[in-house]
Amino acid sequence: MYPVNCVEYYSYFNMSKLNTADDLDCGNYYSLQLSLHHYITKTYIYTIMSELKKDKKHIDVLHFEHEVWTSELNFYKDELVIFNKRLGEMVNNYTDKEVLGHLEHFQNQFIIQNQEIVELLHDSREHEEFLAFAAQAAPIAIDHQSFADHAQLRDRMEQFTKLYMELKQEFKAYLSKIM
């Protein structure tokens, strides 16, 4: 806990316990108040700056994440084409209503996943275009700048990947079960 008044401040830095301002051995109570004010202000500013810096990343880090996400999403999109092809083959081979109901469920899920892929690619591309514009606007200073982290996009990507992998496993398990 940081000191909040002059007595606590003096005690904090001199390791001695003081009870009142009269017990201070500093000669000038107001200079101690001023020192305390500067200490608290510097601590507060340092804390705020540290928090702001945590949410900033270098352009190379953000660009790399965009490239990885684009690659992963395009792979998932290609994989969904293969799953839909397999789904079509299964629909042609089975007439059981229960099986067809499950296959329709997977078809709907694949449509939803494909839409999410398109949205994630779009949002990633938009952020990448923003970074490219910033790099063109200040090419020399770009190496020394930090940009707002795209944490929300990262969270969406992680959630999508988790759900997609679960759906993929569920689909593969179902195909193994009915074959």
Q: Tell me, what DSSP letter sits at residue 140?
A: T
* Rounded distance between C-alpha atoms, residue 7 and residue 10, angstroms: 5
For the chain, percent of residues with pLDDT exceeding 70: 70
Instruction: Return the half-sphere exposure (C-beta side, CA atoms, 13 A cut-off) of residue 156.
Output: 17
Give the pLDDT of residue 31.
53
* 39-72 pLDDT, tens digit each: 554 444 444 334 444 578 777 788 899 999 999 9
* 45, 63, 68, 113 from 59: Cα distances, Å: 25, 6, 14, 29
pTM of the model: 0.66
* Rounded distance between C-alpha atoms, residue 19 and residue 25, angstroms: 12
**86 versus 16: which is more confidently predicted?**
86
Q: Which residues make Cβ contacts (< 8 Å) with residue 116, sequence separation at least 6? A: 160
* 146-155 pLDDT, tens digit each: 778 878 999 9
What is the number of residues in the chain? Answer: 179
179: exposed, middle or buried (Cβ count in 10 Å: 0-12, 13-18, 19+): exposed
